[in-house]
């Protein structure tokens, strides 16, 4: 299957912003671990781990990454877009082993990797699928249901001063991402939204 890689790319400017926000959260002493929902090949994951283990060598935060490793689920009505009609279920698949090997090759600590669709994660308080507290969350699930579920998993665990960043907020190919963000913001009016390219940065 031909991969529509344009949809997954995080631009250089976006990457810089993501890492800047993470560094700020760590410097501020915000409690909790770092999570990424939708890691694909692990490009952003590697950079997040590098910040945690090299830029802040004394940082005790863990990185947790989540992906189905089976490609994307089917789109819902909220994802309907003429621009994204070629984007189909099963696209953007990669194996968990490939991602883990990239960390080893880079000489970085392997994060806690959870394989499965987000909706299948155990969200109970005693679950080991998720950290008990989250300081920084990068949501890159592309589709409405994935982003919505990511919010549901992160919100109860988000520490005071924590930051959530959602990719593809202004991407016409993936309108479900923006719909999920906007719904969440309406239900959580105390949070503020900042836009940077296709990033929704939520404080």
Digit-coded pLDDT (tens) for 102-136: 999 999 999 999 999 999 999 998 899 999 999 99
**pLDDT range class, residue 4, cuts 50, 70, 90:** very low
pLDDT in the model for residue 132:
96
Question: Which residues, 6 or more positions from 84, have their beta carbon under 8 angstroms from its beta carbon?
Answer: 7, 75, 172, 173, 174, 175
Say if domain 17-119+133-202 classifies as CATH 3.40.50.150: yes
Are 140 and 91 spatial neighbours (Cβ–Cβ below 8 Å)? no
Digit-coded pLDDT (tens) for 149-185: 999 999 999 999 999 999 999 898 889 999 999 999 9
Closest CA to 182 of 148, 153, 145: 148
pTM of the full structure: 0.90
d(CA 47, CA 165): 15
145: helix, strand or coil? helix
Are 111 and 45 spatial neighbours (Cβ–Cβ below 8 Å)? yes
Are 60 and 85 spatial neighbours (Cβ–Cβ below 8 Å)? no
Break the chain into its structural domains and give their ranges.
17-119+133-202
Average pLDDT over residues 175-198: 96
In terms of DSSP bridges, do strands 63-67 and 112-115 run parallel, antiparallel, or are they unpaired?
parallel
Digit-coded pLDDT (tens) for 90-104: 566 789 999 999 999
**pLDDT higher than threshold 60 for residue 194:** yes
Average pLDDT over residues 24-49: 97
CB atoms within 10 A of CB 172: 12
């Amino acid at each position: 299957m031909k991969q529509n890689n344009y949809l997954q790319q995080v631009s250089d400017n976006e990457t810089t912003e993501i890492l800047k926000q993470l560094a700020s959260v760590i410097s501020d002493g915000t409690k909790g671990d770092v999570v990424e929902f939708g890691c694909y090949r692990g490009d952003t994951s590697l950079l997040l781990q590098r910040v945690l283990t090299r830029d802040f060598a004394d940082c005790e935060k863990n990185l947790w990454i989540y992906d189905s490793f089976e490609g994307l689920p089917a789109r819902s009505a909220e994802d309907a877009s003429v621009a994204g009609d070629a984007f189909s279920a099963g696209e953007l698949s990669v194996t968990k082993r490939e991602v883990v090997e990239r960390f080893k090759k880079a000489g970085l600590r392997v994060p806690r990797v959870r394989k499965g669709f987000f909706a299948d994660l155990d969200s109970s308080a005693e679950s080991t699928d998720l950290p008990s507290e989250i300081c920084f969350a990068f949501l890159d699930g592309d589709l409405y249901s994935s982003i919505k579920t990511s919010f549901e998993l992160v919100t109860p665990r988000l520490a005071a001063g924590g930051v959530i960043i959602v990719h593809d907020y202004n991407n016409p190919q993936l309108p479900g991402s923006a719909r999920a963000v906007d719904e969440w913001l309406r239900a959580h009016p105390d949070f503020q939204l900042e836009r940077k390219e296709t990033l929704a940065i939520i404080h």
